Structure 1
Amino acid sequence: MQTRPFPSAPDARSPAGAEVRHLIEVETGGMIHSTVPPGQVNRATVHATVSEFWHILSGEGQIWRRDGTGEETTVLTAGVSIDIPVGTAFQYRCTGAEPLKLLCITMPRWPGDKEATVIEGPWAPTAPEG
Structure 2
Amino acid sequence: MSVTFHPREGFAVVEFQTKRLQDEFELAPDGSEIRPLIELGGGSFVHCTLQLQHTSFAVSHRSVDEIWYFIGGEGEVWRRQGGREEVVEVGAGVCLTIPQGTHFQFRNTGGEPLRFLIVTMPPWPGDHEAVGVVGRWKPSSGHR
Q: Same fold (TM over 0.5)?
A: yes
Q: Distance in 2 between matches of 1:127 and 1:107?
A: 29
- Alpha-carbon distance in structure 2 between the residues aligned to 1:82 and 1:55: 7
- Cα distance in 2 between the residues matched to 1:80 and 1:127: 27
CA RMSD of aligned residues (A): 1.0
- Indicate the percent of aligned positions where both proteins have the same amino acid: 42
Aligned letter for 1:35? T
Q: Give me the whole-angstrom Cα distance separating, in 2, the residues matched to 1:123 and 1:100.
A: 17
1:83-121 CA distance string (max 9 Å, x none) = 000010000000001000000000000000000001110
Task: Give unmatched runs, 5+ long, in structure 2.
Answer: 1-15
Q: What whole-Å deviation, never above 9, does each CA across 1:24-77 have from its counterpart, x for those lacking one?
A: 011211000000011000000000001000000000000000012410000011
Cα deviation for residue 128 of structure 1 reads: 3.0
> Which of 1 and 2 has greater Rg?
2
Normalised by the length of structure 1, the TM-score is 0.96
SS where residue 128 of structure 2 aligns?
Answer: helix
Higher relative CO (Cα under 8 Å, sequence separation at least 6) belongs to 1
- What are the within-5 Å matches in structure 2 for residues 56-95 of structure 1? 56-95=70-109
Using structure 2 for the length normalisation, give the TM-score. Answer: 0.87
CA distance in 2, matches of 1:79, 1:48: 27
Tell me the SS of whatever aligns to 2:39. Answer: strand
Kindly state the Cα deviation for residue 127 of structure 1 after the two structures are TM-superposed.
5.0
**Does structure 2 conserve the Cα–Cα contact (< 8 Å) formed by 1:18 and 1:127?**
no
Letter in 1 for 2:24: A
The change in CA–CA distance for 1:127 and 1:81 in structure 2 (over 3 A counts) is: farther
**For the residues of structure 1 that align with 2:105 and 2:67, how far apart are their CA atoms?**
15
SS at match of 1:49: coil
2:60 maps to which of 46, 50, 53: 46
Which structure 1 residue ranges, 5 or more long, are not aligned? none
The SS at the match of 1:17 is coil
User: Aligned equivalents of 1:34 and 1:127: distance in 2?
Assistant: 18
Q: SS at 1:111's partner residue?
A: coil
Structure 1 runs (4+) deviating above 4 angstroms are none
Task: Indicate yes or no: 2:17 matched with 1:6.
Answer: no
Q: Aligned residue for 2:30?
A: 16
- 1:16·1:127 contact (CA, 8 Å) conserved in 2? no
